[in-house]
């Protein structure tokens, strides 16, 4: 395998590889790619001397393209054919690019990578590249909706204790509520074997919701399920048994920020566990406890909450502390 500067004779091969890259890592849906313009830019970069190709047995199997902006070198494109990967081809291309940029006066290299392209990110970080600027984006429609001054953001929560003994639940709630600054909790039910607890404090704070549900479960030695709709956007479920968390679910696991892969999986709900403690059908739990990377990929959050509660046999999860 060898790396060399690209020439105009390489343009057909570069076009083929660029199209393969576009198919493999398509741009975001809102970006319209002008193929003719992109290919013209490739030709321009090749003419500038900052286009490079990797050859194997006389065949072009990868390419790198760069631009020079003062002392900043920008790697605009890097692609290696599938059957030539894991052999140091990409590293050789970037090294040749870096050498040429350095000779032209550059002292720093930048590149862009899509947030979802984790494989490429891992490689770049191994080479020593680090995040310097984080570019965030959102559809304008979603941004306008979130920033609208008239928008009323709704958050509410409910705690469901697996018992028909409402007085016992009321006693336990009365002992704990003052510790979280509550003016008083309200118990309702029982409904279908569950007694519900509502409190305006837990509507506002998921951390207090967790504490309250855990306290009731531990005090009463019983199964407790906490359900919430947070910021109109995300649905949460936490199941406790005798004070210990046995399962947890968040409809958008990384809604509040990036998580390790294991934590993302841990917020996907466990149908087997929920079936054991609630009697729910595992297949129905799996269908109701949907997760996604974005709220816009899921049913409306109130519907999602209602579906999950129904599968668990829980009533009264659709409203918070204010009287319905």
DSSP string over 13-58: HHHHHHHHHHHHSPPPTTPPP-HHHHHHHHHHHHHHT-EEEEEETT
Q: Average pLDDT in the 146-166 region?
A: 78
pTM above 0.75, yes or no: no
Higher pLDDT, 3 or 135: 3
Task: Say whether pLDDT at 231 is over 90.
Answer: no
- Of the chain, the end-to-end C-alpha distance in Å amounts to 71
- At residue 319, does pLDDT exceed 80? no
> Could you tell me the pLDDT band of residue 320, with boundaries at 50, 70 and 90?
very low
pLDDT (0 to 100) of residue 177: 87
Q: What is the mean pLDDT of residues 7-36?
A: 84
Mean pLDDT of the chain: 88
Q: Does the pLDDT at position 31 exceed 80?
A: no
In angstroms, the CA 299 to CA 169 distance is 33
CB 283 within 8 A of CB 158: no
Contact (Cβ atoms closer than 8 angstroms) between residue 229 and residue 316: no
6, burial (CB in 10 Å: exposed 0-12, middle 13-18, buried 19+)? buried
Q: What is the mean pLDDT of residues 163-188?
A: 91
In this structure, of 25-34, 105-114, 177-186, 266-275, the range with the lowest mean pLDDT score is: 25-34
Q: What is the mean pLDDT of residues 302-314?
A: 94
The CA-CA-CA angle for residues 94, 95, 97, to 5°, reads 60
Burial 193-232 (b: 16+ CB within 10 A, else e): bbbbbbbbbbbebbebbbbbbbbbbbbbebbbbbbbbbeb
* Helix H or strand E segment including 76: strand 72-80
31-42 core/surface letters (b: 16 or more CB in 10 A; e: else): eeeeeeeeeeeb
Looking at the chain, how many residues does it have?
Answer: 324
Judge contact between 110 and 46, C-beta under 8 A. no
- CATH assignment of 2-127, among 3.40.50.2300, 3.40.630.30, 3.20.20.140, 3.40.50.970: 3.40.630.30
Q: What is the pLDDT of residues 61-99, one digit of tens each?
A: 999 999 999 999 999 999 999 999 989 999 999 999 999
């Amino acid at each position: 395998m060898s790396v060399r500067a690209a020439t105009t004779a390489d343009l057909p091969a570069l076009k083929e590889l660029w199209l393969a890259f576009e198919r493999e890592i398509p741009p975001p849906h809102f970006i319209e790619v002008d193929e003719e313009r992109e290919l013209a830019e490739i030709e321009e970069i090749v003419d500038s001397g900052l286009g490079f190709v990797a050859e194997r047995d006389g065949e072009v199997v990868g390419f790198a393209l760069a631009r020079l902006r003062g002392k900043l070198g920008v790697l605009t494109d890097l692609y290696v054919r599938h059957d030539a990967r894991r052999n140091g081809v990409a590293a050789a291309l970037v090294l040749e690019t870096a050498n040429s940029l350095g000779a032209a006066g550059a002292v720093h290299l930048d590149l862009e990578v899509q947030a979802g392209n984790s494989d490429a990110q891992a490689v770049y970080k191994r080479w020593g590249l680090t995040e310097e600027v984080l570019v965030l984006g959102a559809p304008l429609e979603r941004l306008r909706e979130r920033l609208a001054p008239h928008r009323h953001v709704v958050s509410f929560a409910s705690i469901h204790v697996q018992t028909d003994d409402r007085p016992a639940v009321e006693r336990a709630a009365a002992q704990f509520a003052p510790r979280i600054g509550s003016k008083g909790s309200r118990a309702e039910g029982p409904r279908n074997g569950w007694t519900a607890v509502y409190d305006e404090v837990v509507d506002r704070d998921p951390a207090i919701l967790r504490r309250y549900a855990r306290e009731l479960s531990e005090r009463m030695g019983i199964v407790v399920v906490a359900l919430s709709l947070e910021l109109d956007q995300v649905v949460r479920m936490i199941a406790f048994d005798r004070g210990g968390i046995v399962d947890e679910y968040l409809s958008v696991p990384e809604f509040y920020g990036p998580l390790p892969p294991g934590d993302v999986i841990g917020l996907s709900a466990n149908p087997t566990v929920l079936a054991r403690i609630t009697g729910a059908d595992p297949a129905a739990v799996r269908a109701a406890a949907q997760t996604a990377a974005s709220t816009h990929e899921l049913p409306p959050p109130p519907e999602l909450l209602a579906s999950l509660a129904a599968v668990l046999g829980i009533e009264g999860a659709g409203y918070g502390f204010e009287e319905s």
